[in-house]
Amino acid sequence: MSRSQSTQIFNTATDQQKTDAGNASEAENKAQEDVGNYQTQLAKFAASNPYVQGGEFQTATNQQLTNTADATANAAKAQLQGQAERTGQNPAAANAAAEEIARQGQRTLSGDEAEATQNRINSEAGYKKNVLSASEVPEQMEAGLYKTAGDLSEEDLQNAENASKGNSSFLDTFGNSLASGLGKFVTGGK
């Protein structure tokens, strides 16, 4: 292969390397953008934890439990008062019974709220565990990018080395052989 052909091959390889480097840089920038977007979305997810104390889950659960206790007490009171009116009994006894039902509902409500709080705490722990697991993903993505970049660089170097071995001219090969032979002659064949 002549020197001009070697130069042409070298120039072509250099142009291809520039194109590859540009493409790799663009791909890395987009991948870095994806990592940044993931981290932003993860931060929003972590901040919107509905299980924190006083959060959406606890508010909705406590409201449901309170409404159930109130509705039960009000329904019992209405039934007892209606029965007292129909039968002509003293409504004071019905009111006293309704108040006792309401107190019992409050005692039940306290136990239900304690159970709901325990469920909220367990759910919050699970939510935080998911956030913690997901927070490892950007590091894994970054490691993958660097590994891929390193592998591609190593492959480019290997290709360049192989290309340089295959592109030597007759005079280069003859010169290397001659120099090797002279070296062996001078050192006594060692």
Quote the mean pLDDT of the chain: 80
pTM: 0.51
- What SS3 class is residue 136? coil
Q: What is the pLDDT of residues 78-115, one digit of tens each?
A: 888 888 888 888 888 888 888 888 888 888 888 899 89
H helix and E strand count, the chain: 5, 0
Instruction: Check pLDDT > 70 for residue 166.
Output: no
pLDDT of residue 122: 92
pLDDT band at 184 (very low <50, low <70, confident <90, very high): low
> CA 46 to CA 59: how far, in whole Å?
19
Look at residue 165 in the predicted model and tell me its pLDDT: 65
Query: How many residues would you count in the chain?
Result: 190
